[in-house]
Structure 1
Amino acid sequence: MGHPTSPADLIIFTRALFRGGAQAPVPGAVALKDDRIMWVGAPDEVPAELQGPDTVEEDWGSALVMPGFHDAHLHFFHSALYLSPLAERFVGDNEADAVARLAPLAARRPEGSWLLAQGWRDYLWNPPAMPTKASLDAAYPDRPVAMYSGDAHTLWLNSCALERLGITEDSTPPAGGSYDKDAEGHLTGIVREAAAMELMPRIVAEFSTDELLDAYRAFEAYLNEHGVTAVCDVSLMAMPGLDFVRDDLFAELERRGELTVRVSMFPTLLADRSRLGELQSAHTGPLLQARGFKQFFDGVSSQHTAWVHDPYTNARFAGDCGRPTVEASVMEELVAPAAAEGHAVRVHAIGDEAIHQCLDIFERHPVAPAPGAEGSAEGRHTIEHLENFQPDDIARLARAGVIASVQPRHITLDPGGPERDLGAERVPYMWPFRTLLDEGAILAFGTDSPVTDIDPMAAVYTAVTRRDADTREPEGGWLPEERITLAEALSAYTAGSAAAAQRAGEVGEIAPGQYADLVVLAPNPFDLPAEDLQQAQVQATYVAGKKVYEA
């Protein structure tokens, strides 16, 4: 286990050490020095030279000590914003209820400022109907309102917002986006995909740096409270300059010694790839780095914007197969030079045709070894979300070494939605975690926050049971044959996410030389029935060897 020559700063003892992989927890001790793990072994085999006069020892008894949770896919800016006093977050029971829930925000924000909320899902409402600007206009005729959908692909605006943003019935939306109109050709207030992405920076521009830093601090604390030690902050936008990867805010927190999460940034992949180089040159510390690119190939199934091979079962028009955000040839023109330069690319692909075409591109353009990167972990491309597969593409993804970055709680976001939109024949190939692992694929777990909550144990519960973490539905699990084990789920949330972050070997396991990012859970989830996994609560979180949270 190595030959340490100096005392540790901290030695952690436990009767349940989960180092990663498929093995069960065993009694263990972990010695930390500065920001690294320096030794791991049996509790009765701790070398004497590790135990100096200033060495602190902590014994967590029967609690589980494991690598820190690593969220492989979230949007930090929006997650922090919608959990802060600057905005609201809710689904609502229906359109009228969603409008009513804006009242507390309207009361606390300055007069005339934007009212910004996130979370509405029309398909979960009673009745399930797309909202319009009329209801917002009635409540807020003189104040701009922007309601971002729960899946972060659609904006619901009032007339005041449309006017402030300069959108008229003659406006042309950007490629890959739309301004919805009614039968008479009037704007409904619904703005989709790229058009929504384009507007968001203008909407949030009124918030000051100090307000946003406060939001970032609060979100960091929320992450640490849930045992999250590292995140991949991935671009939310497919357009130049609109990726919302705010390295300036992270850098300010780092400068102040207030960065308590390890951040890997993935800006938008454009023909001009200079932003990644600029980020990599500017941020070289172990807590804040840029690790690759992100792009979008399609939208979401619930809005029929995910790109599928065969038409949607509930097609809205002949040949309703969704659409790519960019043509496959354009995506390949973006990916090829980036991969040749040694940069991993992460592509949002939800529909089976988007996944299929993405694999075509990744097979032709694997990540080349970066110059001077001998001995480093192999770079891998990643596909994000992967909701429904063409059957042969499951094994193909594994053979290509492409990482499947998935968000378990997406499985139960829309009960009955897969059957409604895609039909019984395609349902068996949706979120096939068990099959992916059996074929040899790497799973990386995350939350897509703010689309789903940051709590890792809720996502682990869903992966292990195929049931919703809140409602516990459906009984027996949805596609229960695709359940995975607790050890597999925890590995996807640690080592798998590290691979997606291009940080394998640095984080994700408890091993000498890796960064000292750990979490303590009690009761030990390995001692709990699957139905009770969420009883395991975070007792302590360590990032870079420092305790950043304790219950």
Structure 2
Amino acid sequence: MSTHSQFLSRFASRFLPYALLIGLLTGCSEPEQPDTLLIDNIHGYSFNNQRELFNFSAMAIRDGKVLATGDSEIAANYPKAEKFDGQGKTLIPGIIDAHGHVSSLGFTLLSIDVRGLASARQAAEKVANYAAEQPQLQWIKGRGWNQVLWPDQQFPTAALLDQFIDDRPVWLNRVDGHAGWANSAAMKAAGIDKNTLSPAGGEILRDADGIPTGVFIDNAMDLIAQAVPKPTADEITVALDTVSKHLLKLGITSTHDAGVSATEHALYRELADSGAMQVRLYGMISSTDPELEQILAAGHSLGSNDMYSARSIKIYTDGALGSRGAALIEPYQDRPDHSGLLLTSAEQLRQLFSLATKAEFQVAIHAIGDKGNRIALDEIEHAYNTVGGRHLRHRIEHSQVVALSDLPRFKSLDVIPSMQPTHATSDMNMAEDRIGAERLKGAYAWRSFLNQGSRVVSGSDFPVELAAPFDGIHAAVTRQNKANQPEGGWIAEEAMTIKETMRSFSIDAAWAAHQEDRLGGLTPGKWADFILLDQDIYHIAPKDLWKTQVLETWLAGERVFKAK
């Protein structure tokens, strides 16, 4: 071997391992890998891990996660990256809707929708026309009626439905899901008659002779629902496919599913693990499911792709304001003999908190009335003092009407107010009639919560409200409906800023699901879930926020929706 060859051999044996090591280390940040995607020419906005808003004009993505964000010079760091021109559009993190009902919306999209109709007769006519077009359906199911919008504001009757359809059972959920309207065929199928008693936490509305009128409030709905054929796994899959496409089109990349059955839980886990889940779901297991204890015993359901996670249970304290099922400390102003309904007993609540805490599951507890909220806060405090669980980030879903003396308890007990901005603008036409001006001081109180340091997280409560996030964003900032009424906003002092609102639909919503390290912002290491918009929501007149259109939706660095 020549002297030169011997030198090269010694050099290789001594220094090549170091060279390889240096290559491997620098390769971690080596910008020239072709599997990198560079999004540039954008007006980007996101929140960092300190919940601060920052801007960027370019973003690098690899393996579905954010590598880096910065200005246009970032392109120089990734010369071999695939490039995507954002054409100067606004880019924000994908919306996280912190409270929805996924399969319910899916089935609503696949059934008859009577939302917004001007009378009970119009609703009945629409149902009859739908039934005529669907002769194969054994039951006619739908959703969306709201007697508050009708001239007489009276609950509908089975007799009216019977005039239009009496050959098949009809079951229509009220818009808030806390009341149902049945025809006589449905009541007959469920065995309902004059002698049927209202269950605890529910009410069968009756006429002067004690005959059920066809409207069932809260737990009384179960009397009809138990007769309705349960959806099969295949039907749930179709509903999930339908709702997933709908949500992605609206810019929602993740949603918290408020009430997941055992069947749905198993199906969601299977779809997520197989790669078939289309939108991220955070599941709250329904506390009334017969398999709750087995699910809790199995522990958190977490997947490596974060498409389905479940570490929460959903409990109800009371009903809804529109159907007068929300539990109030004092009676309803427009029904002085009635104070609402309690859907879960104190004994059950304590047992559920104990079960959840021991399994390290968060509790998300539905509470709308001031009594419902007080009970929820009392039970959370009792749980802290007996079994613990403060670290679990318990939530009160809706936190809608709260006694002024109870507002500070959300902060002192570290309870998350999980709220839905469009509830305020939907309820403003009847809320004062229900509870009076004095109790409104603690109602829909987003600013009061924020001022005391509580983290408000936002959702829509679909299908109670539309799943349209920019309707909610507009409502949060303006306290107005889409007609920009009332002028100046309804209880305008409780409005949020656009920055606070977007935080509540992103990083704070992720935090409320223990997902802030992986979702809710476009910072290195988090999933590249984002949307492109047709206008800069941070620099437009607030009255135009609801008009925002989603141009594209991306999930884990892949485009999953593009507007035509």
TM-score, normalisation: structure 1: 0.89
Name the structure 1 match of 2:3: none
Deviations 1:250-300 (CA, angstroms, capped at 9, x unpaired)? 356446643221111111236952224448459665211212111000111
Letter in 2 for 1:115: I
Q: Secondary structure at the match of 1:365?
A: helix
Contact 2:280 2:308 in 1 (8 A): yes
Asked whether the 8 Å contact 1:382–1:404 carries over to 2, the reply is yes
Query: What's 1:487 paired with?
Result: 499
Q: Counterpart in 2 of 1:224?
A: 248
The answer for the alignment partner of 2:334 in structure 1 is 314
In 2: Cα distance, 1:65 partner to 1:336 partner: 43
Matched, 1:10 2:37: yes
Pairing 1:416-495 to 2, within 5 Å after superposition: 416-469=429-482, 471-495=483-507
Gaps of 5+ in 2: 1-26
| Inter-partner Cα distance in structure 2 for 1:454 and 1:365 | 33
- 1:533 matched to which residue of 2? 545
1:414 to 421, 427, 430: 427
Query: Which residue matches 1:258?
Result: 276
Per-residue deviation, residues 176-222 of structure 1 (Å, max 9, x unmatched): 123222221212111111121464364253x5544443332221111
For these two proteins, the number of residue pairs brought into alignment is 530
| CA contact 2:189–2:227 (8 Å) conserved in 1 | no
SS at match of 1:71: strand
* Aligned position for 2:21: none
Amino acid at match of 2:93: P
Q: Write the distance in 2 (CA, Å) between the matches of 1:458 and 1:81.
A: 22
Which secondary structure does the structure 1 equivalent of 2:409 belong to?
A: helix
**Comparing 392-401 with 219-228, which one deviates more in the overlay?**
392-401
SS at match of 2:322: helix
Identity %: 28
* Displacement after TM superposition at 1:23 (Å): 4.7
CA contact 1:342–1:369 (8 Å) conserved in 2: no
1:300 partner amino acid: A
Q: Quick one: distance in 1 between partners of 2:392 and 2:379? A: 16
Q: Structure 1's 245 and 450: CA in aligned 2 closer, same or farther, altered over 3 A?
A: farther
Letter aligned with residue 555 of structure 2: V
Paired residue type of 1:414: D
CA deviations over 1:377-420 (Å, ceiling 9, x no partner)? 95300000111111132222123221111111110213331211
Q: For residue 420 of structure 1, what is the amino acid of its counterpart?
A: D
> If you compute each CA radius of gyration, which structure gives the higher value, 1 or 2?
2
Q: Does the 8 Å CA contact 1:106/1:115 hold for their aligned counterparts?
A: yes
Structure 1 segment 284-433 matched on structure 2, within 5 A: 285-317=305-337, 320-366=338-384, 379-433=392-446
The letter for the 1-side match of 2:491 is: L
Query: Aligned partner of 1:476: which letter?
Result: G
Aligned partners of 2:302 and 2:310 also within 8 Å: no
Distance in 1 between residues matched to 2:303 and 2:55, nearest whole Å? 37
Q: Distance in 1 between matches of 2:199 and 2:218?
A: 9
Q: Is the 8 A contact 2:517 2:526 kept in 1?
A: yes
- Give the letter for the 1:16 counterpart: H
Q: CA deviation at 1:329?
A: 4.1
8 Å contact from structure 2 (residues 296, 359) kept in 1: no
Shift of 1:501: 2.1
Q: C-alpha displacement at 1:169, in angstroms?
A: 2.5
With 37-46 and 302-311 compared, the bigger mean Cα shift is at 37-46
TM-score by length of 2: 0.87
Secondary structure, counterpart of 2:328 in structure 1: coil
1:88-116 Cα distance to aligned partner (Å, 9 max, x none): 34232111111011133212212562111
| Greater alpha carbon shift after TM alignment, 516-525 vs 276-285 | 276-285
Partners of 1:4 and 1:38 within 8 A in 2: no
Per-residue deviation at 1:24?
5.0
Q: How many Å apart are 1:369 and its aligned residue?
A: 9.4
Gaps of 5+ in 1: 237-242, 371-376
Q: 3-state DSSP class of the match of 2:46?
A: coil
